[in-house]
Structure 1
Amino acid sequence: MINSLLAPRTAPFDLPDFAAVTDAEFAPAFETALAEARAEIDAIAANPEPPDFVNTIEALERSGRALSDMLGVFFLFASVDSTPEREALQRAFSPKLAEFSSDVVLNAALFARIDALWQGRAALDLAPEQARLLEVKHRDFVRAGAALAEEGRARLRAINTRLAELGTAFAQNLLADERDWTMSLAEADLDGLPGFVIDAVRAAGAERDGAGPVVTLSRSLIVPFLQFSPRRDLRERAWRAWMARGARGGATDNRAIVAETLALRAERAALLGFDSFAAGKLETEMAKTPQAVRDLLMAVWTPARAQAEADAALLEAMLTADGHPAPLEPWDWRYYAEKRRMAEHDLDEAALKPFLQLDRMIEAAFDCAHRLFGLDFVPLDVTLHHPDARAWEVTRAGRHMAVFIGDYFARPGKRSGAWCTALRAQQKLAGEIRPHVLNVCNFARPAEGRPALLSWDDARTLFHEFGHALHQMLSDVTYESLSGTSVARDFVELPSQLYEHWLEVPQVLERFATHAETGAPMPADMLARLLGAAKFDMGFQTVEFIASALVDLDFHEGPPPADPIQREAEVLQAIGMPRAIGMRHATPHFAHVFSGGGYAAGYYSYMWSEVMDADAFSAFDEAGDPFDPETARALEAHILSAGGTAEPDALYVAFRGRLPGIEALLKGRGLDVAA
């Protein structure tokens, strides 16, 4: 019987045959595809013909297709519907994939071919995108250790394999802690909660074998609970559980994993000749150096901390007025901030949420994409990886552009957070290949028969991830290695954070923010209050983010700490972290940094990109129209369609004519730079 993961695809648009996939197929498909990928690499390295761009660089681009396709399906299932069997497969696959990656980049014969092309590039007469691809390939091989002596390459192989094992273990431990913890609520514990939170805790309990109402560690559930529950004891219990993920002792504790990961990253950086892991990581980013990152973060930290401290004093006064003893604690902040928002802006989230229906916000994201880039979205009747998921064909002027898949609801076994991935990336080398793009979110599931309602933060998340999806959908390059989001880490968040701005365009909300029961548009005064409160509590939001970014940078800039938790505390003390604010991601559950190396020494990139997104949206303001066609065409041409075909600063200057300063960011966050 043919393995469905390896069989030719016959589903519409070459989608995977999700209905045919079984867990029993993953391991044999992996071994077969891995062996095929190895054979392809060996053939390139052993080619008796002199190296040229086609037989070496393009051949590398064509290799590993079967492996990439089957892993795209496997990792989707493993991340959105984890089971013990799939977790075991992840643990088995992870070191083998790391070994294969090492075997590719440390293959001396293969690197000799690439290096010969690089050294002789002036005579190759390459097109600009080909020249860029050669540059990136050569750079990546050198930075991965291809030029090391054999002893160094051997040690690097071992480090890479162990880091892959540790990253998998970290992610699975975190998922287990998030999946297994619940806080049961009695009926009396629901007093004071708005209806949408009551619906959410009941729905969460119903998902867990029909239990009564429960609070889980899904962000879309625990954050509203912390905002609205008048029970200080329950808020404390929930907040402590949220912060304790990955640090509860026992088999799922991540603290030893973090320490070993940091030590191995530092050793790897030293092997490659870098002063630190951060120095090596940032060399190819826009920031270039750890000091440039620190300068940006501290320039924003100073006014943000001043604002947060002023806000804390107001919230503590509200706490004591309620008869509770000071000081203000982290589990108090969201509750009293919500009360303050209601008092100062007359903005009640319980009244706001019915106007933020999930389906209408999806329509809003689609409509903005149509007005900006001419994209149309037609629902597809196809079988997907989970009943929650839904798909659309994306077209422009009748031309197929992409398949977009959305998987929006939290559920047991689904990795927390929100992300965008491509099951298939855009490229032209193997024909006109258009992408399959997936957005995954963890919004609270509504009660049966009720519409799904979002918080304002949820709606921003939806637009954010859809911005990443547009980066994939509008990609127009030849080579997959340069396609879509294959850009510097501190540039990749520009399209996503920029797209959030369209959620705040009044005409978008006037059309799509309609009441779930009456269908009436959001009242004009509520819309004005919502937009007027856009900068509310920005001190808190900025402080919790920068604290995490500074800890990440510190971990990777100097010698690895023997006790990362102690070092985290020292960093927070040194910067004067307000006591009533916790890090957005404390170390034992900092998945961006420790479930893989993608954001290691790179969590700052959200703020680096925000400097650009604030300035980029100003281009539309300057044009006098948030949907200005000329500006949208320039954005697509120089950013969204270009992928990694040039250095990010060159792409940004081509769009905007200059690089931005931080003024637009500070203004957008309502922070006083003189503070």
Structure 2
Amino acid sequence: MAHSNPLLESFNTPFGVPPFAEIKLEHYKPGIEKLIEKSRSEIEVIANQTEAPSFENTIVSLERGGRDLDQAAEVFFNLNSAETSDEMQALANELSPMLTEFSNEIMQNTALFERVKSIYDNQANFTLDKEDQMLLRKTYLGFVRSGANLNEEDKKKYRELSNALAMASLKFGENVLAETNSYELLLQNPDDLKGLPDGAIDAAALAAEEKGHKGMWLFTLQAPSFLPFMEYAENRELREKMYKAYMSKAYKGDDLDNQEKVKEIVRLRFEMAKVLGYNTYADYVLEERMAEKPEKVKDFLNDLLKKAWPKAKEEVEELKAYIKKLGDNIALERWDWAFYSQKLKNEKYQLDDEMLRPYFQMEKAVDGIFEVAKKLYGLTFKKNNNIPVYHKDVQAYEVLDESGKHISVFYADFFPRAGKRGGAWMTSYRGQWKTDTDHRPVVSIVCNFTPPTASKPSLLTYNEVETLFHEFGHALHGMLADGKYNSLSGTSVYWDFVELPSQILENWLMEKECLDLFASHYQTGESIPEDLIEKIKASSNYHEAYQTLRQLSFGLMDMAWHSLTEENIEISDVASFEQDAMKQTELFKPIPGTCMSTQFSHIFQGGYAAGYYSYKWAEVLDADAFSVFKSKGLFDHTTAKSFRDNILSKGGSEHPMELYKRFRGQEPTVDALLERSGLK
């Protein structure tokens, strides 16, 4: 008897979440192949029906179709990021082109596009609300931007380019993950640990023991290991070694090198934009963004650069003077920055990461963020062990609103492991939409926080708590979605708007009223002292200009890669191209053998191509929006309700600027950001 495939059946689980334990590697390929066939016949029915094209029988049918396929693909690709293996990565290389090919087949189906176009051209004849209009616009543009208007030869070319692009991005990410996982700094001499906090030493001893090196200490390029090392290790040679290892990921001329991949991805993107009639890939991307045009993005970044540069220069000079004052006879290099910056911060504000850690036990910080969500939006998070998870470290929660109604399932996955890519992200296993019933979302956040050790629970740095708040802000955007259509709900918004819900939540972390909810000493239970909160506030702009320049350098480099035209698309050297793009932001001279582009997963693997500027763009929005909470009250019910109703629940159902103005009463200005960053 043939075994059944869980991907082809309804998920018989609490809230219909994926039955992770039942889904085996061998289920994905046959399951996805079958679901592609099923979706293909659904598309044929829509495209070839005899009824005249209407919004319902074409646009809505298209929106509702292929749901099972989407679900299976979501499970697979989410796990390929959070819990992968060599076998899974090999499978991704088979499935990715298959799905891209099928998506292209739909988007270039002539009969289908003719129906969509006829509705789009005659929309005045249909009764459509704003959400319907947005779905129609997005559907029509989706076809056009995927080559539906092209002749047969160009359609074929577009298909080939997008297939090649999917494969190249996948390989880029695999190389970065392999490089991150393979580097080990194994120390035997206790003197080499000088300056490092106990927590970092314990974690390194544990890591070494797990690899069979008992009595030694192992440091890696995973953030919880790398960052404390760069901030506290007194051994300068080792800091240099770690820094260079980190900054040379996928840039060593070996089989994990990404230089040719970068060139290939950039060229493929350019070719794709050209086929579709755009000047550059950035022009193509920004058509569907708040920023609209590459010139506007570059002006925005350069304007901030002008404002931040003098202050950043001052910050570097101050650190050089401080090093001199300490009597350390060195020229300040990049691998010294975090170390001396932390030391000076401690001296200026009597504050460093290690003083705050005991007050940020991870479980309490999670309870704290839940409490914030309750005070703002009336949500309750109930841990539910009956909800299947994909790894023993993952916690599953049921989310309820103030009336006890089910809102969402929420997964939290916090610690690093070999099968998980670096960084932190929010994702979903199911979106939200409405038919006769309201289909509620399944949302997840994945992070790489400091794990517990034998002697201590997981104690987070302030930055890690900030990351938790950030990703949870994205999660709220997903969980509170309240739209008719999945493709417009939750985080399905313009890319330069998507960081507003995440970044605004970070602001609460600076406020006593919020910290008092959860920041208490993990041993004594005493609340975080008032003077520490004052120090957090006072030091909040510490080296802000330097950090701003770093963000701007990535934004400018991203725009440079994606603004290439026919004349200059042939790049001979990745590192010198990158240095050229970033030079006006550089406070240090470039270090031979290092390169950011070859490991910059955000733009070469994730969705931030020609979009990295959106972090800064959204900072303008979040500072401006938070100023309302500041003046009305941190947990003011009316303000929170307005933010939920106009922004969080609306997703991409209307143009983001319209939503923003409805909440704020006006367009945002850069003033609140400059003030908050101390750059005014």
What TM bracket, shorter-length normalisation? over 0.9
Counterpart of 1:603 in structure 2 is 612
Q: Contact 1:199/1:446 (CA < 8 Å) preserved in 2?
A: no
Choose which of 364, 380, 394 in structure 2 pairs with 1:389. Answer: 394
User: How far does the alpha carbon of each residue in 1:239-279 deviate from its partner, in whole angstroms, 9 at most, with x for none?
Assistant: 11111112122111111011011111111111111121111
Counterpart of 1:376 in structure 2 is 380
Counterpart of 2:123 in structure 1 is 121
Counterpart of 2:193 in structure 1 is 190
Choose which of 589, 599, 603 in structure 2 pairs with 1:593. Answer: 603
User: How far does the alpha carbon of each residue in 1:282-332 deviate from its partner, in whole angstroms, 9 at most, with x for none?
Assistant: 112000111111111112112322222212122223334555444211000
| Cα deviation, residue 585, structure 1 | 8.5
| 1:311 aligns to 2:328 (yes or no) | no
Choose which of 644, 660, 675 in structure 2 pairs with 1:652. Answer: 660
| 1:635 aligns to 2:637 (yes or no) | no
| Cα deviation, residue 356, structure 1 | 1.0
**Secondary structure, counterpart of 2:358 in structure 1:** helix
Q: Which moved further from structure 2: 206-215 or 175-184? A: 206-215
Choose which of 254, 271, 288 in structure 2 pairs with 1:250. Answer: 254
Q: Contact 1:592/1:599 (CA < 8 Å) preserved in 2?
A: yes
Distance in 2, matches of 1:230 and 1:545, equals: 27
| Cα deviation, residue 43, structure 1 | 2.1
Choose which of 449, 453, 460 in structure 1 pairs with 2:466. Answer: 460
User: How far does the alpha carbon of each residue in 1:120-153 deviate from its partner, in whole angstroms, 9 at most, with x for none?
Assistant: 1111112321122111111111122111111111
Distance in 2, matches of 1:662 and 1:188, equals: 48
Counterpart of 2:497 in structure 1: which amino acid? F
| Cα deviation, residue 530, structure 1 | 1.4
Q: Contact 2:496/2:618 (CA < 8 Å) preserved in 1?
A: yes
User: How far does the alpha carbon of each residue in 1:28-80 deviate from its partner, in whole angstroms, 9 at most, with x for none?
Assistant: 11211222222222222122222112221111112111111112221222111
Counterpart of 1:292 in structure 2 is 296
Q: Which runs of 5+ in 2 are unaligned?
A: none
Q: Which runs of 5+ in 1 are unaligned?
A: none
Counterpart of 1:351 in structure 2 is 355
| Cα deviation, residue 369, structure 1 | 0.7
| 1:486 aligns to 2:492 (yes or no) | yes
Q: Which moved further from structure 2: 476-485 or 180-189? A: 180-189
Counterpart of 2:625 in structure 1: which amino acid? A
Counterpart of 1:502 in structure 2 is 508
Distance in 2, matches of 1:86 and 1:57, equals: 34
User: How far does the alpha carbon of each residue in 1:328-350 deviate from its partner, in whole angstroms, 9 at most, with x for none?
Assistant: 11000000000000000000321
Correspondence 1:174-573 to 2 at 5 A? 174-186=176-188, 187-209=190-212, 212-322=216-326, 324-382=328-386, 383-396=388-401, 397-429=403-435, 431-448=437-454, 450-559=456-565, 560-562=569-571, 563-573=573-583
**Secondary structure, counterpart of 1:377 in structure 2:** strand
Distance in 1, matches of 2:595 and 2:430, equals: 30
Counterpart of 1:420 in structure 2: which amino acid? M
Counterpart of 1:648 in structure 2: which amino acid? P
Counterpart of 2:6 in structure 1 is 4
The normalised TM-score by structure 2 is 0.96
Distance in 2, matches of 1:558 and 1:268, equals: 13
| Cα deviation, residue 5, structure 1 | 2.2
The change in CA–CA distance for 1:80 and 1:454 in structure 2 (over 3 A counts) is: same
Distance in 1, matches of 2:134 and 2:631, equals: 33
**Secondary structure, counterpart of 1:159 in structure 2:** helix
Distance in 1, matches of 2:51 and 2:595, equals: 51
Counterpart of 1:151 in structure 2: which amino acid? E
> How many pairs does the alignment contain?
669
Q: Contact 1:204/1:445 (CA < 8 Å) preserved in 2?
A: no
Distance in 1, matches of 2:73 and 2:310, equals: 47
Counterpart of 1:150 in structure 2: which amino acid? E
Counterpart of 2:489 in structure 1: which amino acid? S
Q: Contact 1:425/1:472 (CA < 8 Å) preserved in 2?
A: yes
The change in CA–CA distance for 1:48 and 1:73 in structure 2 (over 3 A counts) is: same
Distance in 1, matches of 2:614 and 2:377, equals: 26
The normalised TM-score by structure 1 is 0.96
Q: Contact 1:476/1:641 (CA < 8 Å) preserved in 2?
A: yes
| 1:578 aligns to 2:581 (yes or no) | no
Q: Which moved further from structure 2: 444-453 or 156-165? A: 444-453
Identity percentage of aligned residues: 38
User: How far does the alpha carbon of each residue in 1:146-165 deviate from its partner, in whole angstroms, 9 at most, with x for none?
Assistant: 11111111110000000000
Distance in 1, matches of 2:564 and 2:88, equals: 36
Counterpart of 1:617 in structure 2 is 626
Distance in 2, matches of 1:649 and 1:363, equals: 33
Aligned-residue RMSD, C-alpha: 1.7
**Secondary structure, counterpart of 1:239 in structure 2:** helix
Q: Contact 1:195/1:350 (CA < 8 Å) preserved in 2?
A: no
Q: Which moved further from structure 2: 103-112 or 47-56? A: 47-56
The change in CA–CA distance for 1:430 and 1:145 in structure 2 (over 3 A counts) is: farther
Distance in 1, matches of 2:340 and 2:447, equals: 27
The change in CA–CA distance for 1:561 and 1:314 in structure 2 (over 3 A counts) is: farther
Distance in 1, matches of 2:19 and 2:134, equals: 35
The change in CA–CA distance for 1:67 and 1:190 in structure 2 (over 3 A counts) is: same
Q: Contact 2:20/2:390 (CA < 8 Å) preserved in 1?
A: yes
Q: Contact 1:427/1:433 (CA < 8 Å) preserved in 2?
A: yes
User: How far does the alpha carbon of each residue in 1:209-229 deviate from its partner, in whole angstroms, 9 at most, with x for none?
Assistant: 566321111122211110011
| Cα deviation, residue 661, structure 1 | 1.5
Counterpart of 2:496 in structure 1: which amino acid? D
**Secondary structure, counterpart of 1:638 in structure 2:** helix
| Cα deviation, residue 582, structure 1 | 8.9
User: How far does the alpha carbon of each residue in 1:566-613 deviate from its partner, in whole angstroms, 9 at most, with x for none?
Assistant: 21111222x1511079999810011111014x2100000011111000
**Secondary structure, counterpart of 1:655 in structure 2:** helix
**Secondary structure, counterpart of 1:645 in structure 2:** coil
Distance in 1, matches of 2:201 and 2:18, equals: 38
Q: Contact 1:464/1:499 (CA < 8 Å) preserved in 2?
A: yes
Distance in 1, matches of 2:109 and 2:539, equals: 56
